[in-house]
Amino acid sequence: MKTSYITQKVQQQIRDLADIARLLWERGWAESNAGNISIDISGMLKPFGSSNKQFPQRRMPKQYPELANAQFLITGAGTRMRDVAMQPTKTVIIIEINEDGSAYSMLQNNAETNRLLPTSELATHLTLYQEHRKQGTAIKAIVHTHPTEIIVLTHFPELLNEQTLNTTFWRIHPEALIANPAGIGLIPYILTGTEALAQATADSMQHHPAVVWEKHGCIAAAETISKAFDLIDVANKAAQIYLCCRNAGIVPIGLTDVQLEELKHTFGSPQQR
Ligand SMILES: [Zn+2]
């Protein structure tokens, strides 16, 4: 990706993306080619537009009008997070959406990335950016990964309820509420890479900045890639603490009702009070 049109700002975003990829790998959340990351870099590059013949357009099954002319960094399909961390220029693609949001082109002429396509979760990433733009909320980065302990908890039938899961997290690790007062979303198992998963995630994200995918993983969206990572990291810490207690042979009670109410009153979002 050492092409002349890539600005220093974009280079910094690529480095930030690679740093988070390294963290996902080090956490053990990115086995093989698991996970995907994107960053909205609109405004950091001059749009090429559809008249440009250098980068051919690929039509998408769905149209994203709010994303017209937007540009994104996104990890390539099949790439490993450990490789993204070490060699982002070979594993991260820059895409530009066309004028009516019906197609994208890949802005690169580097032989190293020309063989790559965007992640198979492209529809989910674009749907989330589109829905947030519709609502006027400025998310700039999305992280999807496989946080082990959160996934384990989705195999506990008694926790497969959004309110129960959040209350469990907040009772066992108060920081989970402080870091994410809106709580984490939870959607039932849906096949990966599908429009149905993208839409269910977007619906849940109307209320939650991070969403658990049952028996699969977690996805988070935020103003920066670090904040998106933090949302998952804090929730997974709560899941770890809960599981440590269960492994020690106890079912933890965590905060009392009074303590939980105090926490919600002090740090909770309006709907949680
Ligand atoms: Zn996944």
- What pLDDT, on a 0 to 100 scale, did the predictor assign at position 50? 74
Looking at the DSSP bridge assignments, the partners of residue 156 are none
d(CA 92, ligand 1 centre) in Å: 17
d(CA 272, ligand 1 centre) in Å: 29
pLDDT in tens, 170-205: 999 999 999 999 999 999 999 999 999 999 999 999
pLDDT in tens, 211-267: 999 999 999 999 999 999 999 999 999 999 999 999 999 999 999 999 999 999 999
123 three-state secondary structure: helix
Q: Using pLDDT thresholds of 50, 70 and 90, give the confidence band for residue 112.
A: low
236 three-state secondary structure: helix
pTM for this model (two decimals):
0.95
d(CA 225, ligand 1 centre) in Å: 17
d(CA 4, ligand 1 centre) in Å: 33
104 three-state secondary structure: strand
As to burial, measured by CB atoms within 10 angstroms (0-12 exposed, 13-18 middle, 19+ buried), residue 270 is: exposed
d(CA 75, ligand 1 centre) in Å: 13
Is the pLDDT confidence value at 270 over 80? no
State the DSSP H helix or E strand holding residue 125, giving kind and residue range, or none if neither.
helix 122-135
Cα separation values, 111 from 89, 98, 144, 221, 223, Å: 11, 23, 27, 31, 32
d(CA 186, ligand 1 centre) in Å: 15
